Amino acid sequence: MVAEMIGIDLGTTNSAVGHSTGSDLEILPNTRGDRLTPSVVAFDGRTALVGAQAVNQAVQYPNHTVFSAKRYMGTDEEILLGEEGDKSAFTPEEIAALVLKKLCRDAEDALGRSVDTAVITVPAYFNDRQRQATKHAGEIAGLTVERILNEPTAACLAYGLRTGTDQTVLVYDLGGGTFDSSLIEISGSVFEVIATNGDTNLGGDDWDARIVDWLEEHLSVEHGATIDDPVTTARMFDAAKQAKHELSTRQRTQITIPFLELGGDTYDIERTLTRTQFEQLTEDLTEETITLCEELFEPTAYTPASVDEVLLVGGATRMPSVRERVGEFFGTQPATRVNPDEAVALGAAAQAAILDEDTLPVPDDDSGEVPVGRTTADVPTTRDAADIVLLTVTPQSVGIEAHRSSPDDTYYDVLISRNTPIPANETKLYSTVVDDQKYVFISVHQGEGSLSKTELLDEFKIGPLPLRPAGKPDIEVSFAVDQDGLLQVSAEDVDHEIGDEIAIESVFGLAAEEISAMKQNLPALR
């Protein structure tokens, strides 16, 4: 039997799975019947729990539980789970792999067929390391990752397939831990990303943290108490998130946290938070997203007024203050035709269908409309999916640390600048700066501005080079960014007799052996 390809929205807070039936796109519910699965993992020393079950035991076992691990993707952060003295260390990739494994297992249950391939979405602003880590997580979970797709592009695909009109769309995507804004031009079947900007460390969790700060300040002023243990912190964050959600539909909310243990004493928190107060506490966070939207337009010929439709994606866009501010900035009420929680997974499923021609959705009649069936009214039609072309861009510039005339005089030389359509390739010649230089170090950076503002992605050296005067060798450095937004770098001394032998391919993230060891040792799911 042919295994299935699914679309996965691997979110910071929640994840969702989309699937194409061949005539329709649908969200696959998990084994509890929920359309969203919390991206939360708990580990008891032997087996792992993922999703609502992990959330349910989190307040009791905070040291065994990890929330929002997507924030660590692409870093060397060790995630330690367990009690003091008996902790197990996980990489962010392993935690993401456990979430993916659970999503696939549940998808297999829902479909009654095996799942071995996936399109996985990432924030558009994810850098190379973060994309690579996501792909590796899929591999650790035993999946073939057919495509890494940008979340806003996926959402726009789900939306655009439904409306079928030519327009300029701004996707404002505020999730639990990340913010992305993307400007996308839909013209016929072509979806072209014009520019993208964002912050991979700004999301709904930061709004929760502001409520926690406010509660802490009260505890400190009223009782001189400080919070010093993970159980209390977990309870505070839990209550803060709940209050934030309530304030999306109400003007005020009551925050009640009984029996808080602080420094040997017990306190009951009982406070009223109004929407106005909450909006004051978080105004700068909302403004930060608007500044990022403003910056998005700078390198383009577009202005906020040229946007026809604003699409809101990500659970945190349910906050009324966010909707209002976005509407005010763009001078248009944001579209509500897509469900912000499901649009990305549906778009990922559409991309999966485009890649896997066997299950390409086709309209069932001349109108091109597809029956809504057992999915929500937000389900896009699948009109012209066969002809869909997705053109996307690099989110951040990539380049190397280059030298002017002396080893100390360095600068950031960009090879592929941000917002370049991908796939993209660039090759440039460099040389040595001292006579008889034996090695050339290639430091690959990503980001904008001066060298100090960028992030070092990787370093490697080529050599030993034959002895030649400074400036003589021709060192050819090649950059290639593929469809997934992944970067490959190579360097070569072109005049050298053994030429290719000293061409070194840079490898980012985990090595193949590490991925296979992690796959073998991944804890079983309970």
12/181 with CB nearer ligand AMP: 12
Report how far residue 17's alpha carbon sits from residue 15's, in angstroms, rounded to the nearest whole number: 7
Q: Which residues are catalytic?
A: 9, 70, 151, 173
> Using CB under 6 A as the criterion, what x/- string covers residues 4-23 for binding ligand AMP?
-------xxxx---------
247/385 with CB nearer ligand AMP: 247
- Closest approach of ligand AMP to the CB of residue 137, in Å: 16
Tokens matching residue 366:
């001349």
- Closest approach of ligand AMP to the CB of residue 327, in Å: 16
Report how far residue 41's alpha carbon sits from residue 47's, in angstroms, rounded to the nearest whole number: 10
* Number of separate helices (H) and strands (E) present in the chain: 10, 28
Beta strands in 297-431 (DSSP E): 309-313, 389-393, 398-403, 410-416, 421-422, 424-430
Helix (H) / strand (E) element for 244: namely helix 230-246
275/418 with CB nearer ligand AMP: 275
11/198 with CB nearer ligand AMP: 11
- Closest approach of ligand AMP to the CB of residue 57, in Å: 19
39/432 with CB nearer ligand AMP: 39
Rule CB under 6 A: which of 313-342 touch ligand AMP? 314-316, 318-319
Stretch that binds ligand AMP, among 79-87, 115-123, 198-206, 448-456 (CB under 6 A): 198-206
CA distances from residue 187 to 328, 352, 355 in whole angstroms, order as listed = 26, 21, 20
State which of residues 185, 205, 484, 492 lies at the interface with ligand AMP (CB under 6 A).
205
Stretch that binds ligand AMP, among 52-60, 201-209, 268-276, 372-380 (CB under 6 A): 201-209
Applying CB under 6 A, does 122 fall inside the site for ligand AMP? no
Report how far residue 444's alpha carbon sits from residue 441's, in angstroms, rounded to the nearest whole number: 10
Comparing CA positions, the residue from 384, 412, 415, 419 lying closest to residue 398 is 415
Cβ atoms of residues 163 and 282 within 8 Å: no
Comparing CA positions, the residue from 414, 380, 408, 412 lying closest to residue 394 is 414
| Torsion angles phi and psi, residue 519, rounded to 5 | -65, -45
Rule CB under 6 A: which of 159-188 touch ligand AMP? 175-176
Q: Give me the helix-helix angle, 151-163 and 343-355, nearest 10°.
A: 80
40/489 with CB nearer ligand AMP: 40
Q: Please give the residue whose beta carbon sits closest to ligand AMP in the complex.
A: 204
The region, left, alpha or beta by phi > 0 then psi within -120 to 50, assigned to residue 45 is left
Report how far residue 525's alpha carbon sits from residue 43's, in angstroms, rounded to the nearest whole number: 9
CA–centroid distance for 391 within its chain: 19
Cβ atoms of residues 225 and 265 within 8 Å: yes
Comparing CA positions, the residue from 132, 181, 190, 126 lying closest to residue 152 is 181
Rule CB under 6 A: which of 369-428 touch ligand AMP? none
How many positions of this chain bind ligand AMP (CB under 6 A)? 18
Report how far residue 34's alpha carbon sits from residue 406's, in angstroms, rounded to the nearest whole number: 61
State which of residues 129, 131, 241, 275 lies at the interface with ligand AMP (CB under 6 A).
241
Stretch that binds ligand AMP, among 76-84, 242-250, 346-354, 501-509 (CB under 6 A): 242-250
- Closest approach of ligand AMP to the CB of residue 171, in Å: 13
Tokens matching residue 272:
């009223």
35/244 with CB nearer ligand AMP: 244
248/394 with CB nearer ligand AMP: 248
280/300 with CB nearer ligand AMP: 280
Stretch that binds ligand AMP, among 200-208, 278-286, 327-335, 356-364 (CB under 6 A): 200-208
- Closest approach of ligand AMP to the CB of residue 300, in Å: 26
Stretch that binds ligand AMP, among 237-245, 267-275, 299-307, 407-415 (CB under 6 A): 237-245
Strand-pairing partners, residue 456, are 445
- Show the DSSP H helices in 28-182 as ranges: 52-56, 92-111, 128-140, 151-163
Helix (H) / strand (E) element for 233: namely helix 230-246
- Closest approach of ligand AMP to the CB of residue 262, in Å: 25
Instruction: Tell me the three state secondary structure of residue 366.
Output: coil
Stretch that binds ligand AMP, among 199-207, 391-399, 453-461, 497-505 (CB under 6 A): 199-207
Count of Cβ atoms closer than 10 Å to residue 419 Cβ: 20
Tokens matching residue 24:
């329709």
- Closest approach of ligand AMP to the CB of residue 212, in Å: 13
Stretch that binds ligand AMP, among 238-246, 347-355, 461-469, 473-481 (CB under 6 A): 238-246
Local structure of residue 40 (DSSP, 8 states): -
334/361 with CB nearer ligand AMP: 334
Report how far residue 175's alpha carbon sits from residue 201's, in angstroms, rounded to the nearest whole number: 10
Instruction: Tell me the three state secondary structure of residue 209.
Output: helix
Q: Which stretches of the chain bind ligand AMP, using CB under 6 A?
A: 11-14, 175-176, 203-205, 241, 244-245, 248, 314-316, 318-319
